[in-house]
Amino acid sequence: MRRLTAGLFSSVDGVVESPHLWQLDSFDAELGAGMGAMIRRVDTVLLGRHGYLEWAQYWPAAEPTDPFGSFINPVRKFVASRTLEGDLGWTNASLMDAPLEEFVRTLKQTDGGDIAVCASISLVRQLMFAGLLDSLTLMIHPVVAGAGRHLFEGTDPMTSLELQEVSTTSKGNVLASYGLRR
């Protein structure tokens, strides 16, 4: 069975939205290497509508030497949306042909590498609470963002996690991977 993973940049106060506003100078070589290791295992990406629309405007124009651009542009991308229709226009991007949880359960049974949820806080939450997310990596930057959307909300169910892996970088980033405690 294929693994479903997600990685999110986070501030110390738990903000995961718009990391470009608060990452500042904390992105370092070790964080880049950790991200590189994650994406080397991925051959399929899941996106929500908002993330898809934002990334489809930006990444196709990225320099060919950009490490993330050279990954995200050719990779298979499935988009969860109730409003988008037809050809999505970005290489290897298509709409999910079933409800999210059903689509992901079926996709995890196929052959291939890891499946990664990208650019969607709501998909990460939904798939985690459905028991489908195998690993959540939080890349915690040494900054208090103050404002912005958090991954978890006060109405979320209590959910036990187990630490799978943790490391720190020279600029003080903490990469912590968690799975559901089964």
pLDDT in tens, 141-160: 999 999 999 999 999 999 99
Percent of the chain with pLDDT over 70: 100
- pLDDT over 90 at 182, yes or no: no
Give me 83's structure tokens.
């409003």
Percent of the chain with pLDDT over 90: 92
- pLDDT over 90 at 34, yes or no: no
Residue 66: CB partners within 8 Å, gap ≥ 6? none
In the chain, what are the domain boundaries?
Answer: 4-180
CATH of the domain spanning 4-180: 3.40.430.10
- pLDDT over 90 at 101, yes or no: yes
Dihedral angle, C-alpha 149, 153, 154, 159, nearest 10 °: -150
Q: Give the mean model confidence (pLDDT) for residues 24-28.
A: 90
- pLDDT over 90 at 64, yes or no: no
Are the C-beta atoms of residues 80 and 47 closer than 8 Å to each other?
yes
